[in-house]
Every structure is written in structure tokens, then in C-alpha cells.
Structure 1
Amino acid sequence: MRLTRRPTRRGVPALLAVALLLTAAACGTSDDSDDEAAGDQPTGDPVRIGLFDPSAGGYKSLGVGVGARAGVDYVNSELGGIHDRPVELVSCATDGTPETTISCANKFAEDEVVAALDGFNTTSSSAIDILTTAGIPLVGGIPFDSATGAEVENRVFFSAPQAAFLIGALQAFSEEGKKSVTLVAADIPATHQSVDLVLKPVGAALGIEVEGLYFSPTNPNFNAIASTIKETDPDVGGLMAAPDPSVCTKLVQGLRQLGYEGTIFTAACTEFIDQAPAEAAGAALYSSHWLPRAADYAPEDVQEQLEVAEEAISEEGGTADFYAFAQLGVTATLAEALNASPDAALDGPTILATLKGLEAFPSFLGPELTCGGATTPNCTSQMLLFNVDDQGATEPVTGEWITPLPDILAKIPGAS
């Protein structure tokens, strides 16, 4: 099945739209305006979609909830909902433990949601059996739980597997002649698995020595971490992943203050560019999607999407980080894929079949998606790597999407 995106209702620039609305208000009665506004709203029974929201505990990511809510607002106001039915977000807080993930999965089953958004959940595998039994597909961006990303049953992920981002970055570092990389991450099982089972062997294949350096999610000591990187002096030192933007800023500032001259890798962080502008230049970061700071380098249609996303996130308020834009993109892509399908049966099995059938489908802010792979739940392996310039802009290292080496991805369960 080849599906194409349904056009949004945003057909004119913002200023022109405002002018037209003011003109209509001046020429018509208030009742006419109210009727017209009501006609633009989706009707019918709500489409209930769950969200594993990592908003609790020490390893939280507040941008996920911001992006999901902004995405739902965008879907309802600009797309007319899903098949003209409004989307209702059923959010449930997780704290990085299997217990909260299981509790949320049970809540979604009781509330009869038709799909559950993964929310970059590091313990999402704990929910799989419950969701599968209830017929609720798991839909996400990057699978942060390696066990979830290694299987295909009842799940679809619109971004590349986690390994692809770091493999792509390691490829670029190898091409630049880098021989050693130290990656900092929260001290949780998922990050140890990624370093030991994926990144070390991949690095060895590329001629790079990869080491992991771990911090306590509840009581991190970034001065000690920065000192260790400075003392061991790898060619590249930085973060594997960091949902809390302050982690990036503290580490970047600490490394620069200690005089570390290697490449600072900031994973998917973006806030440090504003919070530590003097130290930000020369940093490198990866992404599953285009970012506002890279808008000048993005295709024209993506530039328009970035404007829409920035407006939606701004109206929602809160954290406007990588995770906010990523989760908005996942939410919008899910709705656009379902709207592009002629089958309006919005139940779990039908939604899963529709998503598995996507071929060369243009995602919101991301690459084209072809889903339904026999060995991977991910619809793409492509990623972007950016360098931060002196003005704080992020320029794609290759100018376009990077495809990690297929022969290396093939060695990682669920990555190809």
C-alpha cells in the first residue's frame, strides 16, 4: 500500500490568514463566524491515543509531553482530526521503571485507546505483552529500549533505531580520522546494553575505541565526568543520550572550562546552544528529524513544517527541545498516515496494518518511511548529523540524510 500525505488546512501564510479572518469577521455576523469555526472542528467520537510520558522520576524528558500535546492540537486544528474525528490524548507518567510502564499499559487497556505513543520510554518492553493482548499497537520515534527495538510484533517506529544514530556519528568521526570516543550516559541497564553490545563492536569495526562513562540519574557529578574525559583525552567526548537539557549544558561548559580540545558530542541536545553560546561552537549533535536551527538548510516543504511545529509548540508552552519536535513529528505522522488510508476503521489491528503498509511515505519533519520490515520495527535507518557553527546554527555534516552502513546494522537485532 502506497500512501501519500493528506494536505493540511494551512493553505495561506499566517499574516494573510489573519487578514482574511478579520475581513470575514467585519463582513459577516457573529453567528456566521461561529458556525464557520464550528464547521472546521472534527466531529464524532474521539480517537483515544495513549502516551507513555517520561515526566516523572530522575530520568525525565518534559519535552515529550509538550510535543505530544502540541501534535494533537495540530492534528485537530490543521488536519481536522483523523478521518474527521478529534484526537484525545490519554497521558500516563512513567519514571524509567518497568513498574510505571506496566501501570500505564494497563491504564491504556482499561481506557480502550487505539494506539499508544512510546514517548522514548527506556522500559517500553515491559508493556509489550499487555498492549499486544489488548490489541493496542505501540507507535514511536526512536526505540530507547533495545529489547523493544529488537522485535517487530505489534510496534512501529518512525525513526531509525537508536544504534543507527550512533553508528552514523561513528562513521563520520571515522572519516575525520578520530580513533577514540568516550560516550557519557545515565547509569541504567539500557545504556550499558547499547555501549557493550552495539557501540563497542561497531567502533572496533570502524577502527575507533569506544568507552562508556556513566552518571547517576538522580545525583550526577558532571565536574567528575568532565575531569575524566579531560584526563583520558579521547578524540571525541560527549553524551550518548540525555533527555534533560541541563545535562548537555553542564557537560559542555565543564569540558570547555577544563580546556578539553577534542570534539564535544552532545547527542540530540539543542538547548546548550542558547544556554552556553560561548562554548557551543564546534559541537556535534545527531537528530531523527530537521531542527529549527537547521531550517536554512532544509527543503522548502520541511521549512514550512518547522514553522508550523514551532508555532504549535510555542502555543503549548514548556520545553521546546529535540524531544518536543520529535514527539510532535511522530504524532503528526501517525495522523497523516491514517488520514491517507481509505480505511476509516480506527481500531488497533487496522491502525497497525495501515502503518505496516506504508511505503515511501513522507514523514513530518523526517525522511520517507517504508514500514513493515520482517526483522525491524523501524521504518527508516536514516539520520542527520549537525555541526554547530559560531552563530549557533546547525548545519548538516553531509548536507542530507546519512544512511548507516547496512552490513554493520545487519549485525544488530532489530536494526535492519
Structure 2
Amino acid sequence: MWHLGVFLPRPTGGRPRQRPAAGLVAVLAAALLVAAGCGGDGQNSGDNRPSAEASSAADPLGPKAPAQGEPVRIGIISEGKNSFTDTTIELTVAKATAAWLNERGSGIGGRPIELVTCEPQGDPGLGTDCGNRMIEEDVAAVVIGHTAVVESVWLPLSEANIPVMSYTSSGEAVLRDSESTFGLTDPIFPVTDLPIQLAKDKGVDRVTAVVIDVPAALNVFADDTPYREAGIEFELVRVPPATADMTAQLRQVAADPGVVFVVGTDSFCIAAFNGLRAVGFDGQIAAISLCASDATRKAVPGDTLDGIVIAAQVPVGTDNPSTRLYEAVMRAYGADVDTASDDGMSMFASLAALQAAVKGVGGNITPSAIISTIKAMPEIELPGGGGITFRCNGKADPEHPALCVRGGLVATLDAKGNPAEYQVLGSSPIED
């Protein structure tokens, strides 16, 4: 099992290292989802807040510490169900998480959390309506789950200076907001930092990106500056979307093993993985999360799947402190929740992170009070994040001050194509 021991921290001073625009990464994700024919993974003062660290093995839920008094209204915006996606699990999980935090974590500022929900249905107009509704409902903060119209949702909230926390923040305007937006995952990590970190860790100086030949995907890799600055030779191999046999394109890769990074739909990834096997490639394979599907597990031999590294959102599918806490909360406060769903666990992490970040808030709990409390928080572990830490002082990534994290979570697949382990990659302390 390889060791994730080499980190590439962002510089603490001077010119930040160049990274592809976050907006391009969001466009890439949307384009690949359309190509795949789907829109989602389907898959007191708050001092008593529960966490993965504080929860005992005997009772991972933590001791009773009920919230009291007038509720604090928290908005939850999630896509809902339409012809492309179904994220309704996020609303179910949010309700269960709020119940847990109200009974075991003293809510927010000692007061119970009251949820206000809205579903934009992938419609920009409805997204704007959801943002405006949160303002009208006088919420103190908003958690945005998975939605294809995040910028439409976000804009009215940003203009009203309502704090927004999201696990899947993307879009250049959103990530550059230094006032009231807080992102819990780095959308750029899976396509740039991951292959660079793996190359460093494996002691190789070459990354080959095997990328589906569509403009949104290719644009992400148009600038090789991050690789050059890391001392990594970079090569882009463009392959048309419908290519079933990639041996011709991949034969040259086998001659110079390094890290091969695959970007495409699951059918594209299947052809790439099997093509690498056919040409005898024995280096490290990595890929985006869309590649780790049921179809991939059925179509790619186990000896190839074993050891592939996938960018991960949350640590579902393995036994670890994060999943034990999440599963315990859903058993106690939810009803028939599919705890293997990334969408569900990321909503749990987002709402629990908001509650953890405002430890110590009290008095009149206004949006401005929540913003100032979040910005002053110390670096702490992200609930449900598999070991990721977060701090929202704007210094995790100087180019994108809304980000609260450095690095990301990766999964190493076993011979059945399931995550054998999760590890944090590329993390470093976020300075004062």
C-alpha cells in the first residue's frame, strides 16, 4: 500500500502557484455528467457540539445536550428530483442531522436549528428564487447541497451578505468571495493536485493525462504550469469519446511508466483502464470519481482495478470514524437513509461543519455574527470528512478565499473496484 507522505503545500507568501480556473473544473464536471446521461452520484453556546473525535466508541452520538429557546433558521438548498438527478436524500439527511445536533450538540448558540428548505430543480430562475426565499425567511445561514445552478442560488445570498456553506462550491465568482462564502472541498484538487501529489509520492517525474476529447475537459489541461512548477513532465493524450479500444493511443504510455490520470465518463474510463492493461502499463493509475461506477467494476478485471486511486468526496463504503458517526446519526434520527450515498454524507458534513464552525456564537445570532464567528474559528476536523481539516479565514487558497480546506480525500480501490482505504492528500496547516 502506497504512503501519502509527500505534500505540496500552497505558498504562504508571494505569488500563488497557478491553477486552472475553478469555473473550468465545474464546466468539466457538468459536461461529463451530460455525456454520461445523468446528473449526480445517485450515489448553550455550542461548546457541547458532537464530533468524530469527541464521540465515544460506546455512544458515537455523544451525550445529551439539548438546545433550548427560540430556533435559529438555517436554509438548506438542494437540487431535488428532476429528469437528470435525484438529491432528495440531502433533505432527508439534513433533517436527521439537525435533530441530532439539537439533541446532542446544543443546536447553534444553544438554540435549536430550524430548517428552511428549497429545491431549484436545475432551473436558474428557480435557483434565484431559492436564494431570495432564504432572505425573505430571515435565515441566519444557508447550506447549499448539490445543484447545477449554484451561482444562481448564491448571487442573491451574497448580495444580502448571508453566510453560505457548501461541500461542492464551484464557479470562479463563488470561490473568489472573501465576504460570506465558505467552501468545504477544493474543486480543483481532483484534476490537478491529485496527479501531481501521486507522482511526487511515487517518486516519478511524469504524468500522462488520458482525457476525453471534449472542449470542457481539454480546457482544464490547457495550461501545464502547475506541473512544470512541481518539476513534473506532463503529456496530454486526447481520445475521442466513443473509442472502445485505446491500445493504439496508450501503447506509448507503457514505455515510460509514471502516473496515468484518466478523465472521462465511466465508459471512457473502462476503455482506458482496459487499454492500459492490454499494453502492460504497470505504473500508478488515478482517475476522477466518475470512473468508479458499477459499470467499471463489472467491466474491468480486478488486477487492474486494484490500486487505482480515485478522488473522493466523502469516505463512504469503509469502516472509519466518519462513517461510524454518520451511520449512527442516520440510524437514530433518520428513516431508511442509504448511507452509501455520497450526496447524503456530504450534506451531513456540511450542516455539521456549519454547527462546528460557529462554536461560541451567542446573543443575537445574525448572519453577520455567524460570518465573524466562522472567520475566527481555529482549524478543526471536518465532521464526516475522513480526516480533512478546515479553517475559513480566507488563507487556505489565496486565489480562492472562499475555500476552507487544503488538499482532498482520495480512495484506493481494491480488486472489486471498491474503496479499500481513504487518505487525505495534499493537506497542510492553514496559517493565521
- Partners of 2:369 and 2:183 in 1: CA distance: 16
Counterpart of 1:350 in structure 2 is 369
Query: 1:45 Cα shift?
Result: 3.0
The partner residue of 1:326 within 343, 346, 349 is: 346
- Partners of 1:153 and 1:185 in 2: CA distance: 37
TM-score by length of 2: 0.66
Decide whether aligned partners of structure 1 residues 403 and 122 sit closer, same or farther in structure 2, where only a CA change above 3 A counts: farther
Decide whether aligned partners of structure 1 residues 346 and 103 sit closer, same or farther in structure 2, where only a CA change above 3 A counts: same
Question: Is the 8 Å Cα contact of residues 266 and 283 (structure 1) preserved in structure 2?
Answer: yes
Counterpart of 2:23 in structure 1 is none
Decide whether aligned partners of structure 1 residues 341 and 66 sit closer, same or farther in structure 2, where only a CA change above 3 A counts: same
The partner residue of 1:75 within 75, 78, 101 is: 101
Counterpart of 1:117 in structure 2 is 143
- Partners of 1:360 and 1:302 in 2: CA distance: 17
Counterpart of 1:377 in structure 2 is 402
Counterpart of 1:308 in structure 2 is 328
Deviations 1:280-303 (A, max 9, x none): 4333212354444262xxxxx546
Question: Is the 8 Å Cα contact of residues 66 and 319 (structure 1) preserved in structure 2?
Answer: no
Query: 1:153 Cα shift?
Result: 2.6
- Partners of 1:210 and 1:59 in 2: CA distance: 31
Counterpart of 2:337 in structure 1 is 317
Question: Is the 8 Å Cα contact of residues 117 and 139 (structure 1) preserved in structure 2?
Answer: yes
- Partners of 1:16 and 1:113 in 2: CA distance: 27
Counterpart of 1:132 in structure 2 is 158
Question: Is the 8 Å Cα contact of residues 308 and 412 (structure 2) preserved in structure 1?
Answer: yes
- Partners of 2:118 and 2:213 in 1: CA distance: 26
Question: Is the 8 Å Cα contact of residues 175 and 402 (structure 2) preserved in structure 1?
Answer: yes
1:272 aligns with 2:300: no
Where does 1:228-239 land on structure 2 (aligned, <5 Å)? 231-233=248-250, 236-239=260-263
For 1:88, give the aligned amino acid: L
Select between 286-295 and 353-362 the one with higher mean Cα deviation.
286-295
- Partners of 1:405 and 1:42 in 2: CA distance: 35
Query: 1:139 Cα shift?
Result: 0.8
1:287 aligns with 2:312: yes
- Partners of 2:332 and 2:277 in 1: CA distance: 38
2:142 partner SS: strand
Deviations 1:199-223 (A, max 9, x none): x443454322246779xxxxxx7xx
Question: Is the 8 Å Cα contact of residues 184 and 239 (structure 1) preserved in structure 2?
Answer: yes
Query: 1:237 Cα shift?
Result: 4.9
Deviations 1:179-228 (A, max 9, x none): 3112459976xx6764446xx443454322246779xxxxxx7xx1555x
Decide whether aligned partners of structure 1 residues 92 and 370 sit closer, same or farther in structure 2, where only a CA change above 3 A counts: same
Structure 1 unaligned blocks of 5 or more: 18-36, 215-220, 241-246, 296-300, 407-416
1:85 aligns with 2:107: no
The partner residue of 1:168 within 193, 199, 204 is: 193
- Partners of 1:313 and 1:153 in 2: CA distance: 34
Query: 1:329 Cα shift?
Result: 0.7
1:6 aligns with 2:49: yes
For 2:208, give the aligned amino acid: S
2:289 partner SS: coil
Where does 1:143-292 land on structure 2 (aligned, <5 Å)? 143-159=169-185, 161-175=186-200, 176=202, 177=204, 178-184=206-212, 194-196=220-222, 200-205=224-229, 206-210=232-236, 224=242, 226-227=244-245, 231-233=248-250, 236-239=260-263, 248=266, 250-255=267-272, 260=277, 265-268=286-289, 272=293, 276=297, 279=302, 280-292=305-317
For 1:169, give the aligned amino acid: L
- Partners of 1:403 and 1:10 in 2: CA distance: 24
Question: Is the 8 Å Cα contact of residues 72 and 111 (structure 2) preserved in structure 1?
Answer: no
Select between 365-374 and 58-67 the one with higher mean Cα deviation.
58-67
- Partners of 1:185 and 1:325 in 2: CA distance: 32
The size of the alignment, in residue pairs, is 355
Decide whether aligned partners of structure 1 residues 260 and 89 sit closer, same or farther in structure 2, where only a CA change above 3 A counts: farther
Query: 1:334 Cα shift?
Result: 0.7
Deviations 1:220-260 (A, max 9, x none): x7xx1555x555326635347xxxxxx64x55555556675
- Identity percentage of aligned residues: 13
Counterpart of 2:14 in structure 1 is none
Query: 1:155 Cα shift?
Result: 0.6
Query: 1:318 Cα shift?
Result: 4.5
Query: 1:146 Cα shift?
Result: 3.1
Deviations 1:105-140 (A, max 9, x none): 122223322222232445423344411333321111
Question: Is the 8 Å Cα contact of residues 196 and 207 (structure 2) preserved in structure 1?
Answer: no
Question: Is the 8 Å Cα contact of residues 333 and 364 (structure 1) preserved in structure 2?
Answer: yes
Select between 346-355 and 109-118 the one with higher mean Cα deviation.
109-118
1:361 aligns with 2:380: yes
Query: 1:357 Cα shift?
Result: 1.3
Decide whether aligned partners of structure 1 residues 210 and 72 sit closer, same or farther in structure 2, where only a CA change above 3 A counts: farther
Counterpart of 1:21 in structure 2 is none
Deviations 1:75-97 (A, max 9, x none): 234324322313314132341x5
Question: Is the 8 Å Cα contact of residues 211 and 218 (structure 2) preserved in structure 1?
Answer: no
Query: 1:14 Cα shift?
Result: 5.6
Deviations 1:365-414 (A, max 9, x none): 33232212164111121212221123634334xx55423899xxxxxxxx
- Which structure carries more helix by proportion? 1
Decide whether aligned partners of structure 1 residues 273 and 210 sit closer, same or farther in structure 2, where only a CA change above 3 A counts: same
- Partners of 2:163 and 2:155 in 1: CA distance: 11
For 1:93, give the aligned amino acid: P
